[in-house]
Amino acid sequence: MTDLHDLVRSAQADVGARVVAELRARLLDQPHEWVVDQLLGEIAPRFGLVAAPVHRVTGLPLTRCTLADAVAQLTAWTSERLDAECCLLAPPAPGGPLIGPAHRSPLAEVLLAEAKDLLHALLLGDEAGGVRLRRVRRCLLTLAPPADKAAVFGFLDTGTPRRALGEFEFGEVEDGLVGSGVVAALRLINRLEVNEVVLYARVEDVTAAEG
């Protein structure tokens, strides 16, 4: 005769099967990248790694005026201000591993996303995406993060041909504001996620070099 424990185990198995089936159905409805990011977030810490999910870019319309405002806003977030606002929560020392979400406050997450969206708009944005800047010369950004941190910049990989891995050619405006925005965005991304003492990045005017 079936006892109470058998009934409980049977009920648990039935409930478990239904929950798994429901969870599977819901996961299938989610964006592929989101599922991958969640899996990395669960698996990576077990191997002592910090997962760096690819940032989902939010389109950022830009004009000369809004770019100036964006650069001023990012530049205002100095290391001292980030510390004063408790943006980082017991992060690893500079030069150590990536700074993961667990070490960033909600404000830091917003700032990091804004910096990445601005960098994407400056390097890859066009008029179709609302980036309306009068670009008068060509510049080249050479970006060389450590290999184990390069995935942070995966949101810049559009699959389009480039001069070389880590090189991005972009249009600059008359007063150099695009380059200033690139530097400001990279500084904040490094401070809030990449976590290098010095992130190697160089901007040079290729129009003059080619001329």
Q: What is the mean pLDDT of residues 110-132?
A: 93
Under the banding of pLDDT at 50, 70 and 90, the label for residue 209 is: very low
Would you state the pLDDT for residue 24? 83
> What one-character-per-residue DSSP string does 69-110 give?
HHHHHHHT--HHHHHHTT-BSSPPPTTSS---GGGB-HHHHH
Considering the chain, what is the average pLDDT of its residues? 84
Comparing 8 with 128, which gets the higher pLDDT? 128
Maximum CA extent, the chain: 92
Q: Is the pLDDT of residue 34 over 90?
A: no
pLDDT digits (tens, 9 = 90+) for 57-111: 888 889 999 999 999 999 999 999 999 999 999 999 999 999 988 899 999 999 9
Comparing 31 with 66, which gets the higher pLDDT? 66
Q: Is the pLDDT of residue 22 over 70?
A: yes
Q: Is the pLDDT of residue 210 over 60?
A: no
Q: What is the mean pLDDT of residues 9-38?
A: 74
Regarding pTM above 0.75, the answer is no
Q: What are phi and psi of 168, to 5 degrees?
A: -135, 120
Worst-scoring range by mean pLDDT, 9-18, 163-172, 186-195?
Answer: 9-18
Comparing 44 with 75, which gets the higher pLDDT? 75
Q: What is the mean pLDDT of residues 146-155?
A: 88
Worst-scoring range by mean pLDDT, 20-24, 103-107, 195-199?
Answer: 20-24
